[in-house]
Structure 1
């Protein structure tokens, strides 16, 4: 069992709020995290028909009856909208008691609307992401080489499949079928599953590229607003990251469209029929895949250590760019990700120029090499595996 970094953030939130909502895609480990962090809490799954029927009849009575102990974990909360009004009443009856309710749910527009309408100011929100390399080396679980995590992705069951001699692609195919055929209709999307699969696959082929929704719409025969709506749903369900550009009032023409990434490289590789590290090594998507893997691993740890930071990329019309700008208050940290060892003086000069343009206080090149080197003033190179806990 992996020890999740999010447990640190979760224990802080339960001291500040009467309820905490753990959001994340299906099968990412929300239930495991809640039970592992709060082993003495009662647990209820609203996908269980008997439990669902009891709460549907009188949710407030069920809450009052079952929360007499240390606390209550409510799984798949989005299945019962009536629950949120009952939670508001139960919380307000004893507002000073923190950490009574741990609510688990897959991100959906309806769920977030219920939280905003009924539990504003009463609930802390934690996003649980797939595993980081650091997490795969904890808790007595099988140790995954970072390349295995890169190939299979960070969903625990997908990674475990390969570690046990199975195939991560079998897991991802089952996951996608469930997502397209069951989850999307629940979110109010009536898209043809075949067409939706085509859109996700097109996003995989355009991994890390600038958003061009009109191109997707033309290829699929959909309207651009329809494609935009589906992209929003993919983002809200944590399968897609929309990385915004960084803007600063300088005399340069800047790219203003966001970049789109499928957030988990296991999903990316499954959609592109990549079975192994050897196949990935010679595939045209290798560079974009490595960029995604490093970027996501860092942002998953960044969200725990610096929960209020913001992530951007930087690109000018003239071609100057950096893959990631981490904004922490008034400080900017520039990060460029390279597949091969990056020690060229040209790269260092380019990063120094970007630091001057953006006001970043340092810049780091991350590659698959080993060790670390100083390339210029406040510009360093690091091998990714040199320290899998590192953040600038």
Structure 2
């Protein structure tokens, strides 16, 4: 990551830490999007004695600022298990620091999901702090979106605010790493892999072994019940291969070994989506039950996922016009998904031979989006048919003859509603 670059969410975290503590602060998002780096950058503006950064998976026994650190930890301290008792101990030390300082203290707990029943422990400690009126901000980070969501919904309802970090956008990769459009279409938006793009073999190995494999193994298989892990991996590869295309569950079952049933595939697709890997976009139908029953349109959430297993290098991907067209459409879909507000919904639409690549919905507002990467026909039948079926809405053509792709990718989804 460019050392001087700060994402916009940094400003939000700065503002939260200047307020009186009202809520736990959850910094959430997929693996390797810079959550820990962002929080450390914000803490750098604080005096060392004003914060505690405790990494659950770190070998350090005393993660407090130097003023409160135990010197020369013993072997027993270094190997102390990270469990509820350890969490209480760290929290109590942060409380002592908060009571000793007029402007309070910040406790950051990284990889919190690795502590068994973490949310129950956090709930009790946080409620006690609020009863005391303690000036202790608590920031929680976790690399497993699935387990974080489970813990927050089970015990912490009404007690937290979320700062959500998504995959890096085109504009962020331009500003931080001097990417151009073709760089972004192929290499995507992982900041950790950006310094490796000059050596594509090394870049590809890093994405496959350092990003994709941990996301599947640690964020899904180790954190939730998956009866057929080989099937989930096959489904991920299929989603990357067919990104930008509608694919029925029946067709998926025909290409997967031991595919089970459509319910299993739909569930595994949800798991992959929650981990920030691929989504199955539903068909827009106006009626929610018909959307759930539709064939999904597969969409990678970061272009690196599509490229790393494609078998193409960057030049080959650009030269294959059909493949590049799917790259463009996948990049538009990933951008809309990653930058949409929580209340927005993303779909596709098809009726016979008429189709619209993406439908962005928020309440009664609707935008139909057609993506073109080659010659543009004289009439855009899909957009016209969609308007005839659902009434007036905003209609966008992205690419040749419409909004330039780089311009579209430079604004969040809300801008196009």
Query: How far apart are the structure 2 equivalents of 1:108 and 1:232?
Result: 12
Structure 1 residue 12 displacement after superposition: 6.9
Q: 2:56 aligns with which of 34, 46, 51?
A: 46
User: 1:278–1:46: structure 2 CA closer, same or farther, 3 Å change rule?
Assistant: same
Q: What's the CA shift string for 1:74-102, capped at 9, x where partnerless? A: 11111013332222123223437798222
User: 1:74–1:58: structure 2 CA closer, same or farther, 3 Å change rule?
Assistant: closer
More helix as a share of residues: 2
Q: 2:148 aligns with which of 111, 134, 147?
A: 111
Query: How far apart are the structure 1 equivalents of 2:374 and 2:42?
Result: 39
Query: How far apart are the structure 2 equivalents of 1:202 and 1:165?
Result: 22
Q: 1:364 aligns with which of 393, 396, 404?
A: 396
Do the aligned residues in 1 keep the contact of 2:239 with 2:299 (CA within 8 Å)? Answer: yes
Q: 2:88 aligns with which of 60, 72, 76?
A: 60
Matched residue, 1:346: 379
Matched residue, 1:383: 404
Structure 1 residue 149 displacement after superposition: 1.4
User: 1:137–1:202: structure 2 CA closer, same or farther, 3 Å change rule?
Assistant: closer
Query: How far apart are the structure 2 equivalents of 1:159 and 1:234?
Result: 23
Q: Report the secondary structure of 1:321's partner residue.
A: strand
Query: How far apart are the structure 2 equivalents of 1:352 and 1:215?
Result: 29
Matched residue, 2:161: 124
Q: Report the secondary structure of 2:27's partner residue.
A: strand
Matched residue, 2:34: 29
Do the aligned residues in 1 keep the contact of 2:29 with 2:166 (CA within 8 Å)? Answer: yes
Query: How far apart are the structure 2 equivalents of 1:387 and 1:227?
Result: 32
- When structure 1 is superposed on structure 2, of 72-81 and 358-367 the one drifting more is 358-367
Query: How far apart are the structure 2 equivalents of 1:360 and 1:99?
Result: 51
Task: Report whether the alignment pairs 1:6 with 2:9.
Answer: yes
Query: How far apart are the structure 1 equivalents of 2:348 and 2:243?
Result: 14
Structure 1 residue 325 displacement after superposition: 1.8
Do the aligned residues in 2 keep the contact of 1:19 with 1:99 (CA within 8 Å)? Answer: no
User: 1:98–1:124: structure 2 CA closer, same or farther, 3 Å change rule?
Assistant: farther
Do the aligned residues in 2 keep the contact of 1:335 with 1:364 (CA within 8 Å)? Answer: yes
Between Structure 1 and Structure 2, how many residues are aligned?
Answer: 371
Do the aligned residues in 1 keep the contact of 2:284 with 2:291 (CA within 8 Å)? Answer: no
Matched residue, 1:378: none
- When structure 1 is superposed on structure 2, of 160-169 and 81-90 the one drifting more is 160-169
Q: Which runs of 5+ in 2 are unaligned?
A: 62-79, 99-103
Q: Report the secondary structure of 2:177's partner residue.
A: coil
- When structure 1 is superposed on structure 2, of 61-70 and 175-184 the one drifting more is 175-184
Q: Report the secondary structure of 2:340's partner residue.
A: helix
Q: Which runs of 5+ in 1 are unaligned?
A: 374-380
* Root mean square deviation of aligned Cα: 3.2
Matched residue, 1:262: 300
User: 1:48–1:254: structure 2 CA closer, same or farther, 3 Å change rule?
Assistant: closer
Do the aligned residues in 2 keep the contact of 1:333 with 1:363 (CA within 8 Å)? Answer: yes
Matched residue, 2:172: 135
Structure 1 residue 164 displacement after superposition: 7.2
User: 1:44–1:322: structure 2 CA closer, same or farther, 3 Å change rule?
Assistant: same
Matched residue, 2:353: 319
Query: How far apart are the structure 1 equivalents of 2:171 and 2:187?
Result: 16
Structure 1 residue 273 displacement after superposition: 1.2
Matched residue, 1:308: 343
User: 1:70–1:260: structure 2 CA closer, same or farther, 3 Å change rule?
Assistant: same
Query: How far apart are the structure 2 equivalents of 1:12 and 1:355?
Result: 43
Q: Report the secondary structure of 2:53's partner residue.
A: strand
- When structure 1 is superposed on structure 2, of 56-65 and 188-197 the one drifting more is 188-197
Q: Report the secondary structure of 2:328's partner residue.
A: helix
Structure 1 residue 383 displacement after superposition: 0.6
- TM-score of the superposition, structure 1-length normalised? 0.82
